[in-house]
Amino acid sequence: MPRGIALTEEEQSRRRKEIFNASVHLFLSKGFNETSMREIAKAARIGKSTLYDYFPSKDDILLSFVEDELQRLTEKMEEIARQKIGAMEKLRQMMFAYMDYLATNEDFYMKLSFEVQRLAQESIERIQRKRHALQDLLRDMIEEGIREGSFRPVDSLLATRVMLTALTPAVYTTRPSGSRQEMMEEAFTFVLKGIQGTPPAQVKRSAPGKSNA
């Protein structure tokens, strides 16, 4: 917790958001390596010592931003999973939440993905755990669909990975006509056709444990 004057949890969250906004803007406009902590503090309208109370380095800002965004997406997917609707519609809503997340952070990932990849191994593993949690939610939904007969008995882990791999480019692809939303709808329909089925069947798993890479 930051030192100095005690802030409420809401105030701390708001300040973190201000730091993230200032940092990402500078990272995108100037470059990650060219941006200093002093510049981030100035852009966020806080003292440099206050910035260091929240984040010891630019790498920590980058890591925390990615983790926070993935956590928000996870919570959104968990909310969808609790709805009293069929697995197919849940999966559709979850995948569109994922694609909306990619679209919202398009500039960040297109320009700063290399910087994320060069973080310390411990930081990369933390991000991977967040991504595995998302993968597990989607995998659970495919398995739920298999049990209710909406999907055929596919390998749920493989289907999840193929779905994520196939749909991600749809977010960043342009075409002469049609909106991004229409392209995402079309891409999701293509992928969904591959797992749709009618007979209920026992869930098939490829290996013990949900997040084995």
Least confident of 34-48, 55-69, 70-84, 184-198: 184-198
Task: Specify the pTM.
Answer: 0.78
pLDDT of residue 171: 73
CATH superfamily, domain at 1-56: Homeodomain-like (1.10.10.60)
Q: CA–CA distance from 111 to each of 108, 116, 117, 119, 179 (Å)?
A: 6, 10, 12, 15, 23
User: Whose CA is closest to 159, among 87, 100, 66?
Assistant: 87
In this prediction, residue 165 carries a pLDDT of 86
Residue 87 CB neighbours (<10 A): 20
- CB proximity list for 212: less than 8 A, separation 6 or greater: 157
> Would you list the domain boundaries of the chain?
1-56, 64-213
Structure tokens at 119: 């973080």
- Using the 8-state DSSP alphabet, how is residue 86 labeled? -
- pLDDT at position 191 is 79
Say which CATH topology domain 64-213 has: Tetracycline Repressor; domain 2 (1.10.357)
Give residue 73's pLDDT.
Answer: 93
The least confident of 27-41, 64-78, 160-174 is: 160-174
Per-residue pLDDT tens for 125-157?
A: 999 999 999 999 999 999 999 999 999 899 999
Better-predicted residue by pLDDT, 166 or 36: 36
> Is 159 within 8 Å of 191 (Cβ atoms)?
no
Gyration radius (Cα) of the chain, Å? 20
pLDDT over 90 percentage in the chain: 55
Rounded Cα distance, 68 and 74, in Å: 10
